[in-house]
Amino acid sequence: MKLKQTFSAVVLGLAAMNIQAAEFVLTDSTKGTDVGDWQVSNSSLGLKSDDHFSVEKRRLHGGKQLGVDVIIVNNGELTVTLVPTRGMGILHVERDGERILGWDSPVKEVVNPMFIDLESRNGLGWLDGFNEMLVRCGYEWTGHPGVDENGQLLSLHGRVQNTPASNVKVTIDDIPPHKITIEGDVSERTFKKAELTTRTKLEIIPGENSFSLHDTLTNHASYDDEYQIIYHSNFGRPILEEGAKVTAAASEVSPFNDYAQAGLESWQTYLGPTKDFDEMVFNLKPIGDEKGNSLVVLHNRSANKGVAVGYNVKQLPVLTLWKNTDTEKQGYVTGIEPGTSYAYNTKFQRPLGLVPTIKAGESKHFDVTYTVLRNEGDVSQALKQVDTLQKGKPVKQSKKLIVDLNKVQ
């Protein structure tokens, strides 16, 4: 195997699995280094592969993109664009030159967090940069902004997505199927307040129509801490359209607030772009198999295009469904959001047991898989999986609000 000589590549002997891999450190904040623009491919690595694959890192420019890095992973089937500067979020996924996962936000640039003041607009600053397919909302807190019991403003959806990754590493297995792994450490470190780091890991295998996240949150402090996380996964065109449908393995669905009451019965189907719709949010209680694995399927009207989001209810016990089917220009999008918590402010979720604790030194794992459903067969197979989990029981519709925002403050 021939390695690009300008970068330190380490051939790791993983004895147990008899796998060797080329490892490329792109960013290392402990050494203060960064490779700058960079790329590898199966060709440059001298790897014979049925599927041409490549990984590229480049820096964006223009407006609030100053200093933003993206990593573009092409596995021959999908092209996934990651944003190390924005917490290793996933900007979008392309297939056959078309954006298949992602959405069109009013926010057009990939905004460097240095231009964002999260506490602005009473804690809504996060909205200045929101345009990704996957936003991690956490980990110190998540949910809607509001002043917590201790008097501190918790800004919308936490800080992790607006934190640049400290260390970024690409690993490519030497032997087929040449799994590609992108790891990035994102730190929420504030003296006396938080010592949470998340090792994000994206795995993708050349030629496959799916990829997965395997994140590890660690509390490096000597004290237990709260944490919250929502995997805010957002999909617009071409999957979302009038008549698109979401199917989730769940026992119950209820409206997030009064406004969503009106949409409860039709929670599974989508309107086309609808002026003045704004957003409806639903709280789901997901169910998994014996290992906890659950699945949500979103597909277009013809049921020949979609996405399946797999996660584990032992890690992420609740599911938020965000239906933002307002106009195209406002951002026509739906969010499928497995998490530890719903989207309410933290103070409203503590009494519900939805603000878990991470002990001193402890690590928590989160696994989420995204599968692009390319045709009717893919869609129907995914729906069958949900059906299996559901064991013939319908998702119960409950009008009762989990948190009644009219009554709490």
Q: Which residues are near its own copies by CB under 8 A?
A: 27-34, 58-67, 70, 105-110, 112-115, 117-122, 124, 127-128, 130-131, 151-153, 163-167, 187, 189-193, 195, 220-223, 275, 326-331
DSSP letters for 34-102: E--SEEEETTTTT---SS--EEEEEE--SGGGTT-EEEEEE-SS-EEEEEGGGTTEEEEEEETTEEEE-
In sequence order, the β-bridge partners of residue 211 are: 204, 370
Helices (H) and strands (E) in the chain, counts: 5, 28
Give min distance, CB of 245 to its own copies, in A. 24
Question: Is 183 in a helix, a strand, or coil?
Answer: strand
Give min distance, CB of 219 to its own copies, in A. 10
Residue placing its CB nearer to its own copies in the complex, 98 or 191? 191
In whole angstroms, give the CA distance from residue 221 to residue 225.
Answer: 8
Residue placing its CB nearer to its own copies in the complex, 50 or 328? 328
Give min distance, CB of 50 to its own copies, in A. 31
Q: Looking at 125-166, which runs of residues are DSSP E strands?
A: 134-139, 146-147, 153-154
Give min distance, CB of 32 to its own copies, in A. 4
Residue placing its CB nearer to its own copies in the complex, 193 or 396? 193
CA distances to 21, 318, 367, 375 from 292, rounded to whole Å, are 31, 12, 11, 27
CA distances to 177, 345, 367 from 212, rounded to whole Å, are 15, 28, 7
Give min distance, CB of 230 to its own copies, in A. 16
Residue placing its CB nearer to its own copies in the complex, 12 or 124? 124
What lies within 8 Å, CB to CB, of 97 at 6+ separation is none
Residue placing its CB nearer to its own copies in the complex, 276 or 290? 276
Residue 291 buriedness (CB in 10 A; 0-12 / 13-18 / 19+): exposed
Give min distance, CB of 198 to its own copies, in A. 12
Residue placing its CB nearer to its own copies in the complex, 258 or 328? 328
Residue placing its CB nearer to its own copies in the complex, 14 or 153? 153
Query: 222: how many CB neighbours lie within 10 A of its CB?
Result: 8
Give min distance, CB of 326 to its own copies, in A. 7
DSSP letters for 310-342: EEETTTS-EEEEEEE-S-HHHH-EEEEEEESS-
Residue placing its CB nearer to its own copies in the complex, 65 or 340? 65
Give min distance, CB of 263 to its own copies, in A. 18
Give min distance, CB of 378 to its own copies, in A. 31
Residue placing its CB nearer to its own copies in the complex, 12 or 72? 72
The β-bridge relationship of strands 9-14 and 19-28 is antiparallel
Q: Residue 21 phi/psi, 5° resolution?
A: -145, 150
Of residues 215, 214, 223, 221, the one with CA closest to residue 196: 221
